[in-house]
Structure 1
Amino acid sequence: MGGRFYVVGQIDATGSGSPHHWELEEIGAAKFPLFRRLGLEDVRGVLCGWLGARLEGLGMGEDWAATLEFFPEANVHVLYYYYGDEFGDVEGELKFLFSGERVSWIPGEDLATFISVALDFAELKIRGREPFDKWRGGKSELMLKILRERKEPFRLLGEGDAEKLRAFLGANVWRSGSKWRIMRDVFPGVAVEVLYDGDRLDASYSGKNVANMERHHLELLASLTINHAIRYITVENYGKTELPDICYKVFSRMFTKEKGWSHHRTQH
Structure 2
Amino acid sequence: MIDSGVRHKEAVVQQGSGNSAANEVAPPGVNINVPHSARIYDYWLGGKDNFAVDRAVGDAMMQAIPGMRYMAGENRKFVHRAARDLVVEEGIRQFLDIGTGIPTRPNLHEIAQGIAPETRVVYVDNDPIVLVHARALMLSSPQGRSEYISADLRDPRSILEDPALRDTLDLTEPVGLTLIAILMLLADEDDPWGKVEALRDAMPSGSCLAITHPTADFNPDEVNTAVAAATGAGMTLVARSREAVARFFGDWELLEPGLVPVSAWRPDSHVENQQAAYYWSGVARKP
TM-score, with length taken from structure 1? 0.28
TM-score, with length taken from structure 2? 0.27
Between the two structures, name the one with larger relative contact order (CA 8 Å, sep ≥ 6): 2
Rg comparison, structure with higher value: 1
